[in-house]
């Protein structure tokens, strides 16, 4: 048999217990949650030295937001390593699915771990070639099992030799 | 029919000498679970007519799929029912695997089931949380459920790097193997979650107010539910034993031991309790999967731009909200000729009018909440 | 309709002021020997009281948000000032500096008048409440009667707000609000009558002084009825149907913004504070002397306020037909039976202890009534457990199907 009011009081006890527990949420700008090493952030890590300009990433992108222009003179040279003039990613439209990272055969493009990017103008969200060249090189381990194998946690900077499956 | 700033005495039907009121619930309304509009005709507080008006969140997923390669479509499926992205991925991939005859390795099947069952818990948490919020609780149960969902999303982030839009399943497997420490994290979560379910039951199931608001309200007979092709927890709440995991086992569900919770008379109470019971079953399934998880490859060797043979295939799974099906027609190119989606949320809406007419205005919101639709999936 | 409403409004605003002036042929503040404000004149006292009320109102919004946030595993407002204590003032400044929007088709006069109508009865209610011992603006002999009478005027403001907004959500909120407020007046007044019977006075201070045993123990049923009736009067969970955010957006104040919204929103907390004070005085024992008594009274008030916040943080709301059913089918009969039983008990103890009618009951008679009432209360809970819709729930379908062409 149930006593009238007991069920409602049980609910009150649950909330009262939580009144004396520390909150689950964190105060964001001061305290940040740990992100996993595979986290797909809203920046990219690109190693120009590893990139051959093959445009696999641009082809894999569901939205077609990666723009690659290779230098015409480099097309004459022997081998398949093109010099890259433009490598732009329009993160204003990017959905961070990491298909480009999955498609990259040379481990040149990696996901980054930042999640704080806001701008007033849409054009500012385009990651330009210079930004990709000079940005911090902290790749995430998304689709990069070789980084997980060496125990990399997405915290240090890696150079172009360490980030790929083989060093250049 | 006009609306807005005109006289509020505008009459649609004259009932017993009083005039009925046309009230638009939505598209901007606190409890329509997205951008959704309910055109309701009210006689005082009593509901005379309800008409759901859809399309505010239409993104043309089917059409977009026709110009994307099969792998790229996975990103579209994340955004259908954005509270259950993994289930959508699995439904699409199961259609694609039928089309291409690719067999995923055993480990991949287990990983898929683990992810889908975690997703089911997360989706049901949101369904119940928002339902209680619709009942008028000042977001406390919702926040308690958000907390547990957050832990599930952390698990997903460990595995695939995203919290909502996973894009985790791939043709012939999954995109990532489990990371280091996942087994420990999920075991901790499951142990904790069982206690939390007890706490939810204390918070919700005994409460006289919730009981009086939900028991016996808007019952749906099993036969009627079948005729309206309702699926998922809503159908099972009406006492119909139909779960694709049992009836048409996909992946590894035939090797797992679980039961399908059933309701009695399909009222709001049953629809809520069935979801809570399903979460318990999901915990049970997850424990079995983690115990049995085999070693081996997690992904078959497939092309990124896969070209399936000409033909068509229909793949369906038991998504948290019901039977989710993907119908793919291939013409041999890298993109499907046509992709059709059978979304449970949309089809479950067919009974909304029937459930609401004759009840009170406040019951519309609760009936709508117990159906647990997701507008992303309704409008596609 | 407009003129009628307007006339009623003016009449209602003027009457209590006249009443106050008539009732107090002596100076408005009753100075006593223990009066901490002894010698300060009336206007300074009034200024202090109103400042105190505004301060409490703004702080209560913060306290509620903070408490409920912790019940919800959240941190709550913690940005403005230390621990966010100034959040209420920041909100107030923000609301006051907002643009004052009036919907095009709203009735401008009544729309602007409604927040004042909602606020003023609540402010007037504090005239008789002895916040500080010996410090009341008007120490009326009919104090509790005045409180009930003046606060019931708030429903007019609610209806005016909902009607003038020219929005269907507002209209629904207003109609619900009036139905609910009118219904809950009845059990509230009946339960207060039992307290009056026990204490033999309508004066709030005398009621407090009559409590040899706190009346919460003597009259648990009356306490619960008053608590939930007040929750209904204040539109607080589980009876917040007239501003039910998940159903009718914000009910009668859907269209309000800026200063007008601040008035309505503040009134909600001010009324909660006022009624908590009244309940604390009615049920929680003597008023102490001096600053200590003031702090004790605030502590008792905080308990009631915390109950309201706690309910809001835990429970969902009840449907409109259930709310009216609770008022008329459960609370009203209960309150009536409670009055009869209490009257019988008082006659009984008076005959046993040879107390003359009109004299205050002593400790022992009250103790006997307490024991009887607590036993009756336990029995009541058991009886209610068998009532369908309260303790027992029918699983069978009970569906209403309107007999209209074209439906079903």
The predicted-structure confidence for A35-63, as pLDDT tens digits, reads as follows: 888 888 888 888 888 888 888 888 888 88
**Taking chain B (380 residues) in consecutive chunks of 10 residues, what is each chunk's mean pLDDT?**
41 59 82 82 85 86 88 88 88 90 89 90 90 84 89 89 88 86 89 89 84 83 84 87 85 87 84 89 89 88 85 90 90 89 89 86 87 85
CATH of domain B61-345: 1.10.645.10
Burial B43-58 (b: 16+ CB within 10 A, else e): bebbbbbbebeeebbe
Give the nearest partner residue to A97 out of B167, B177, B204, using CB atoms.
Answer: B167
Cα(B135)–Cα(B261) distance, integer angstroms: 24
Task: Mark yes or no for CB contact C315/A11 under 8 Å.
Answer: yes
Mean pLDDT of chain C: 79
Instruction: Give yes or no for residue C406 having a pLDDT over 60.
Output: no
Between B208-217, C10-19, C130-139, C171-180, the lowest mean confidence (pLDDT) is in: C10-19
DSSP for B188-214 reads: HHHHHHHHHHHHHIIIIIT-HHHHHHH
Task: Mark yes or no for CB contact C399/B361 under 8 Å.
Answer: no
Cα(B93)–Cα(B173) distance, integer angstroms: 9
Cα(C262)–Cα(C259) distance, integer angstroms: 5
Distance of residue A82 Cα from the nearest chain C Cα, in angstroms: 53
Q: Which residues contact B352 (CB under 8 A, 6 or more apart)?
A: B50, B52, B367, B368, B371
Chains A–B, number of C-beta pairs less than 8 Å apart? 83
Instruction: Give yes or no for residue A79 having a pLDDT over 80.
Output: no
Question: A147 in contact with B at a CB cutoff of 8 Å?
Answer: no
Chain A residues touching C313 at Cβ < 8 A? 15
Mutate to test the interface with A, among B69, B153, B161 (most CBs of A within 10 A): B161
Task: Mark yes or no for CB contact B161/A98 under 8 Å.
Answer: yes
Question: C141 in contact with B at a CB cutoff of 8 Å?
Answer: no
Looking at per-residue pLDDT, the higher value among C318 and C388 belongs to C318
Could you tell me which chain C residue has the CA closest to the CA of A3?
C385
Classify the complex by whether its ipTM is higher than 0.85, answering yes or no. yes
CATH class of residue range A35-163: alpha beta
Res C25: pLDDT: 46
Res B327: pLDDT: 92
Residues of B with a Cβ under 8 Å from any A Cβ are: 68, 71-72, 74-76, 140, 144, 147, 150, 154, 157-162, 165, 167, 175-177, 179-180, 199, 202-209, 211, 304
Res A149: pLDDT: 80
Q: Is the dihedral of CA B158, B161, B166, B171 positive or negative?
A: negative
Domain ranges for chain C, please list them: 2-385
The predicted-structure confidence for A12-24, as pLDDT tens digits, reads as follows: 888 888 888 888 8
Cα(B174)–Cα(B155) distance, integer angstroms: 15
Give the nearest partner residue to A8 out of B159, B177, B209, using CB atoms.
Answer: B209
Res C143: pLDDT: 81
Beta strand spans in A79-157 (E):
84-90, 109-111, 126-127
Could you give the percent of chain C with pLDDT greater than 70? 82
Distance of residue A134 Cα from the nearest chain B Cα, in angstroms: 24
The predicted-structure confidence for C188-224, as pLDDT tens digits, reads as follows: 999 998 888 888 888 888 888 888 788 888 888 889 8
Chain A residues touching B180 at Cβ < 8 A? 148
Question: A40 in contact with B at a CB cutoff of 8 Å?
Answer: yes
The predicted-structure confidence for C68-87, as pLDDT tens digits, reads as follows: 888 888 888 888 888 888 88
Helix (H) or strand (E) holding C68: helix C42-71
Could you tell me which chain A residue has the CA closest to the CA of C77?
A27
The neighbours of chain A, by the rule of 3 or more Cβ pairs under 8 Å, are B, C
Q: Chain B window 105-134: which residues touch C at a Cβ cutoff of 8 Å?
A: 132-134
pTM score, whole prediction: 0.86
Domain ranges for chain B, please list them: 61-345
Res B329: pLDDT: 92
Domain ranges for chain A, please list them: 35-163
Distance of residue C220 Cα from the nearest chain A Cα, in angstroms: 14
Res C389: pLDDT: 66
Q: Chain C window 167-226: which residues touch B at a Cβ cutoff of 8 Å?
A: 168-169, 171-172, 176
Backbone angles phi, psi at B329, to 5 degrees: -115, 125
Task: Mark yes or no for CB contact C74/B143 under 8 Å.
Answer: yes
Chains B–C, number of C-beta pairs less than 8 Å apart? 136
The neighbours of chain B, by the rule of 3 or more Cβ pairs under 8 Å, are A, C
Chain B residues touching A11 at Cβ < 8 A? 202-204, 206-207
Res C398: pLDDT: 41
| H-type alpha helices, A61-128 | 99-103
Res C396: pLDDT: 46
The predicted-structure confidence for B277-309, as pLDDT tens digits, reads as follows: 898 889 989 998 888 888 888 888 888 888 888
Backbone angles phi, psi at A127, to 5 degrees: -85, 115
């Amino acid at each position: 048999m149930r006593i009238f009011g007991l069920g409602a009081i049980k609910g009150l006890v649950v909330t009262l217990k939580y009144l004396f527990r520390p909150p689950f949420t964190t105060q964001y700008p001061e305290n940040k949650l740990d992100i996993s090493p595979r986290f797909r952030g809203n920046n990219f890590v690109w190693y120009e030295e590893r990139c051959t300009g093959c445009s696999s990433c641009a082809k894999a992108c569901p939205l077609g937001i990666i723009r690659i222009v290779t230098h015409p003179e480099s097309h004459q040279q022997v081998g398949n390593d093109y010099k890259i003039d433009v490598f732009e990613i329009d993160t204003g439209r990017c959905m961070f699915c990491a298909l480009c990272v999955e498609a990259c055969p040379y481990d040149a493009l990696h996901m980054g771990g930042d999640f704080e990017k806001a701008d007033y103008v849409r054009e500012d969200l385009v990651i330009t070639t210079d930004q990709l060249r000079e940005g911090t090189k902290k790749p995430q381990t998304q689709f990069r099992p070789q980084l997980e194998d060496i125990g990399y946690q997405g915290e240090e900077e890696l150079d172009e030799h360490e980030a790929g499956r083989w060093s250049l | 029919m006009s609306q807005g700033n005109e006289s509020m005495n505008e009459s649609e039907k004259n009932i017993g000498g009083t005039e009925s009121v046309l009230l638009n619930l939505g598209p901007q309304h606190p409890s329509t679970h997205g951008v959704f509009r309910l055109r309701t005709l009210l006689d005082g507080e009593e509901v005379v007519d309800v008409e759901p008006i859809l399309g505010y969140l239409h993104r043309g997923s089917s059409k977009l799929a026709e110009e994307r390669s099969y792998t790229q479509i996975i990103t579209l499926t994340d955004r259908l029912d954005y509270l259950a992205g993994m289930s959508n991925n699995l439904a699409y991939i199961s259609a694609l695997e039928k089309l291409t005859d690719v067999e995923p390795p055993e480990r991949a099947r287990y990983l898929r089931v683990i992810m889908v069952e975690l997703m089911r818990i997360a989706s049901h948490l949101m369904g119940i949380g928002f339902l209680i919020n619709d009942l008028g609780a000042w977001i406390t149960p919702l926040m308690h459920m958000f907390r547990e969902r957050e832990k599930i999303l952390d698990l997903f982030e460990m595995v695939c790097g995203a919290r909502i839009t996973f894009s985790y399943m791939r043709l012939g497997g999954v995109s990532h193997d489990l990371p280091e420490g996942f087994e420990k994290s999920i075991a901790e979560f499951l142990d904790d979650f069982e206690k939390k379910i007890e706490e939810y039951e204390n918070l919700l199931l005994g409460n006289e107010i919730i009981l009086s608001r939900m028991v016996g309200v808007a019952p749906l007979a099993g036969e009627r539910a079948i005729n309206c092709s309702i699926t998922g927890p809503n159908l099972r709440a009406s006492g119909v034993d139909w779960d694709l995991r049992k009836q048409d086992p996909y992946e590894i569900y035939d090797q797992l031991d679980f039961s399908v919770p059933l309701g009695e008379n399909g009222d709001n109470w049953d629809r809520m309790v069935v979801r809570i019971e399903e979460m318990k079953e999901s915990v049970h399934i997850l424990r079995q999967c983690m115990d049995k998880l085999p070693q081996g490859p997690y992904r078959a060797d497939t092309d990124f731009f896969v070209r399936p043979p000409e033909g068509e295939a229909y793949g369906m799974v038991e998504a948290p909200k019901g039977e989710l099906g993907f119908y793919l027609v291939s013409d041999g190119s890298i993109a499907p000729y046509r992709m059709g989606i059978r979304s449970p949320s949309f089809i479950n809406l067919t009974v909304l009018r029937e459930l609401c007419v004759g009840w009170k205005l406040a019951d519309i919101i609760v009936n709508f909440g117990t159906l647990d639709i997701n507008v992303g999936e309704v409008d596609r | 309709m407009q003129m009628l409403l307007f006339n009623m409004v003016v009449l209602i605003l003027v009457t209590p002021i006249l009443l106050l002036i008539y009732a107090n042929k002596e100076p408005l503040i009753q100075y006593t020997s223990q009066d901490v404000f002894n010698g300060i004149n009336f206007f300074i006292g009034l200024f202090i009281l109103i400042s105190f009320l505004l301060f409490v109102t703004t702080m209560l919004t913060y306290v509620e948000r903070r408490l409920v946030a912790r019940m919800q595993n959240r941190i709550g407002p913690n940005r403005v000032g230390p621990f966010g204590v100034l959040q209420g003032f920041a909100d107030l400044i923000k609301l006051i500096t907002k643009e004052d929007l009036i919907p095009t088709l709203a009735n401008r006069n009544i729309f602007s008048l409604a927040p004042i109508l909602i606020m003023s009865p609540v402010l007037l209610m504090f005239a008789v409440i002895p916040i500080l011992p010996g410090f009341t603006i008007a120490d009326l002999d009919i104090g509790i009667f005045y409180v009930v009478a003046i606060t019931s005027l708030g429903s007019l403001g609610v209806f005016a707000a909902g009607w003038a907004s020219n929005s269907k959500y507002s209209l629904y909120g207003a109609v619900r609000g009036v139905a609910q407020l009118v219904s809950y007046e009845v059990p509230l007044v009946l339960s207060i009558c039992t307290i009056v019977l026990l204490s033999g006075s309508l004066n709030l201070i005398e009621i407090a002084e009559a409590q040899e045993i706190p009346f919460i123990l003597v009259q648990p049923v009356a306490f619960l009825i008053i608590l939930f009736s007040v929750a209904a009067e204040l539109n607080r969970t589980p009876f917040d149907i007239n501003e039910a955010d998940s159903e009718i957006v914000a009910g009668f104040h859907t269209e309000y913004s800026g200063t007008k919204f601040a008035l309505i929103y503040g009134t909600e907390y001010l009324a909660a504070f006022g009624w908590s004070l009244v309940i604390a005085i009615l049920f929680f024992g003597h008023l102490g002397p001096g600053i200590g008594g003031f702090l004790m009274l605030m502590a008792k008030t905080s308990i009631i306020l915390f109950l309201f916040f706690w309910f809001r943080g835990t429970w969902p709301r009840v449907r409109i037909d259930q709310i009216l059913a609770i008022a008329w089918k459960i609370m009203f009969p209960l309150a009536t039976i409670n009055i009869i039983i209490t009257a019988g008990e008082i006659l009984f103890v008076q005959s046993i202890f040879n107390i003359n009618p009109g004299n205050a009951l002593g400790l022992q008679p009250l103790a006997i009534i307490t024991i009887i009432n607590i036993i009756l209360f336990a029995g009541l809970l058991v009886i209610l457990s068998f009532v369908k819709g309260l303790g027992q729930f029918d699983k069978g379908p009970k569906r209403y199907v309107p007999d209209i062409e074209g439906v079903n």
